[in-house]
């Protein structure tokens, strides 16, 4: 082992190599230096490990230089990258939720390249409010009196509770104490806001009288939370928001609803399960409703708060609001996305997640057939390519029990395991993420965007060439 350590080249010696010098003209010097150091560390680790079964690492000059080059190219890649989502989960929180509509992307570019009237009232020639750009639009689309937008829905819920029930009681059903995405839990958000949580009812059933009996002179709000990514079946009962509003009115208490996904489109018109829309909730008379910008709305990450003007005004002047404010890119892309909703047909056609949700089986079959045709010659000798029916999911906690019939393209690898194939595609410069099902890697064409299939073809072409070596 000592002999191997002695044979390791030094950093300075490597930096003098013409090959490394050349690499430093192509890539930043500091990055190449980092690659040299990390490669030497890796080699030292390999030498220590070889006591096991790994065998000694190749310390020849070309092998070491090749390792440094590979490491340098790895370090040169941005950490945050596009990926191909072939998982069939449309609003995939780990993969960035909603891809944006073309109009939203253009609005971001314009906002980024230029100055803007972000906080400038052009008609008065004086300081204006950033919220004014979308408030009117949100009210027109939903029937709300007023609204504002913060960083995300978690912030929206926190801000609403902090403003309305800090140090006071907020009543919530035990069936609605949900956890979303591992970091947002209703009881914890309530605790952070300073609201005192009063749980009522049972996990599966909560009645109106449960809320009524819990009301005291310390009660500030009645809270309703969308169950999002879980669903209770069997003997269940939750109080409809309209009944809660009526109870609230008789006791002069505001009802606030965390809608989670918050859709502006009634999906039952497209053959899916009925999910109350934001408009329905506002019409039911809630004081405030909150929802995400990047779930069923298909816009940027944002938390939208809509409702009665008196409450919205209190939220707007809460100093915490300043810490949760949205930036100009969110504002630009949110306004552009909302404008598409002025014509629902346009929204369905142009907001990517709406297009994916409403895509017909016929269209999916056509997309899958085209992909299979392109993959078959490329995958020759590598994997069997076929198609099967399957199910896509909406994701993001929206319509959790809704399954969408889809068409899958499947790869059954011959020489490597399906796990190795999955890893190979996942570790590409543009990673390709599918699902493993019955020893096959499956790609759901529903969530594959324009140009995605080219990355898959390129990856399989390279893998086939490597296999032949």
Residues near ligand PLP (CB under 6 A) = 152-154, 157, 180, 184, 225-226, 228, 258, 260-261, 292, 303, 397
Q: How far is the CB of 152 from ligand PLP (least distance, A)?
A: 3
Q: 404: which 2 tokens?
A: 């969408």
Q: How far is the CB of 294 from ligand PLP (least distance, A)?
A: 7
Toward ligand PLP, which CB reaches closer, 258 or 280? 258
Toward ligand PLP, which CB reaches closer, 147 or 397? 397
Closest CA to 304 of 285, 340, 279: 279
Q: How far is the CB of 410 from ligand PLP (least distance, A)?
A: 31
Strand partners, 387: 409
On whether the CB atoms of residues 36 and 11 are closer than 8 A, the answer is yes
Q: How far is the CB of 189 from ligand PLP (least distance, A)?
A: 8
Toward ligand PLP, which CB reaches closer, 163 or 261? 261
**How far apart are alpha carbons 70 and 400 in whole angstroms?**
43
Toward ligand PLP, which CB reaches closer, 261 or 406? 261
**How far apart are alpha carbons 415 and 130 in whole angstroms?**
58
**CA dihedral of 384, 390, 391, 392, whole degrees rounded to 10:** 30
Toward ligand PLP, which CB reaches closer, 57 or 395? 395
β-strand 219-225 against 169-173: which pairing, if any? Answer: parallel
Neighbours of 165 (CB within 10 A): 25
**How far apart are alpha carbons 257 and 255 in whole angstroms?**
7
End-to-end Cα distance, the chain: 32
Q: How far is the CB of 263 from ligand PLP (least distance, A)?
A: 12
Shortest Cβ contact with ligand PLP: which residue? Answer: 260
Contacts of 44 (CB under 8 A, 6+ apart): 5, 8
Q: How far is the CB of 184 from ligand PLP (least distance, A)?
A: 5
Q: How far is the CB of 425 from ligand PLP (least distance, A)?
A: 28
Q: How far is the CB of 262 from ligand PLP (least distance, A)?
A: 9
**How far apart are alpha carbons 158 and 251 in whole angstroms?**
24
Q: 368: which 2 tokens?
A: 């899958």
Toward ligand PLP, which CB reaches closer, 84 or 180? 180
On whether the CB atoms of residues 170 and 157 are closer than 8 A, the answer is no
Toward ligand PLP, which CB reaches closer, 57 or 175? 175
On whether the CB atoms of residues 411 and 86 are closer than 8 A, the answer is no
**CA dihedral of 407, 408, 409, 413, whole degrees rounded to 10:** -160
Toward ligand PLP, which CB reaches closer, 68 or 302? 302
Closest CA to 439 of 457, 419, 453: 419
């Amino acid at each position: 082992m000592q002999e191997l350590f002695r044979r390791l080249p030094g950093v300075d010696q490597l930096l003098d190599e013409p090959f490394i010098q050349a690499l430093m003209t192509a890539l930043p010097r500091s990055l190449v230096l980092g690659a040299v150091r990390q490669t030497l560390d890796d080699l030292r680790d390999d030498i220590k490990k070889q006591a096991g079964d790994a065998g000694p690492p190749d310390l020849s000059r070309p092998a070491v230089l090749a390792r440094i080059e590979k490491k340098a190219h790895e370090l040169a890649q941005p950490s945050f990258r596009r990926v191909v989502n072939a998982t069939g989960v449309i609003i995939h929180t780990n993969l960035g939720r909603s891809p944006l509509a073309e109009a939203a992307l253009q609005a971001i570019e314009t906002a980024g390249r230029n100055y803007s009237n972000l906080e400038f009232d052009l008609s008065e020639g004086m300081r204006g409010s950033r919220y004014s750009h979308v408030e009117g639009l949100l009210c027109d689309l939903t029937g709300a009196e007023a609204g504002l937008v913060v960083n995300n829905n978690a912030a929206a819920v926190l801000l609403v509770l902090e403003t309305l029930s800090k140090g006071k009681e907020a009543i919530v059903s035990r069936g609605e104490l949900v956890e979303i995405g591992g970091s947002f839990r209703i009881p914890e958000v309530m605790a952070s806001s300073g609201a005192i949580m009063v749980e009522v009812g049972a996990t599966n059933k909560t009645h109106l009288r449960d809320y009524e009996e819990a009301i005291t002179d310390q009660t500030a709000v009645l809270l309703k939370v969308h169950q999002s990514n879980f669903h209770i079946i069997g003997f269940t009962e939750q109080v409809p928001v309209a009944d809660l509003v009526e109870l609230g009115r008789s006791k002069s208490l505001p009802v606030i609803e965390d809608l989670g996904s918050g859709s502006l489109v009634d999906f039952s018109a497209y053959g899916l399960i009925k999910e109350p829309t934001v408009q329905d909730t506002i019409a039911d008379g809630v004081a405030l409703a909150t929802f995400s910008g990047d779930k069923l709305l298909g816009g940027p990450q944002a938390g939208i708060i809509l409702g009665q003007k008196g409450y919205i005004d209190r939220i707007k002047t809460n100093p915490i609001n300043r810490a949760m404010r949205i930036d100009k890119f969110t504002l630009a892309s949110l306004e552009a996305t909302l404008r598409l909703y002025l014509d629902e047909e346009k929204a369905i056609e142009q907001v990517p997640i709406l297009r994916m949700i409403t895509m017909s089986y016929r269209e999916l079959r056509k997309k899958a057939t085209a992909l299979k045709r392109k993959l078959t010659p490329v995958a020759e000798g590598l994997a069997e390519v076929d198609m099967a029916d399957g199910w896509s999911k909406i994701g993001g906690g929206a319509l959790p029990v809704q399954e969408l019939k889809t068409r899958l393209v499947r790869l059954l690898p011959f020489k490597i395991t399906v796990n190795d194939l999955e890893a190979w595609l996942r570790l590409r410069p543009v990673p390709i993420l599918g699902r493993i099902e019955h020893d096959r890697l499956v790609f759901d064409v529903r969530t594959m965007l324009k140009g995605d299939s080219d990355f898959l073809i390129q990856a399989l072409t390279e893998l086939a060439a490597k296999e032949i070596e």
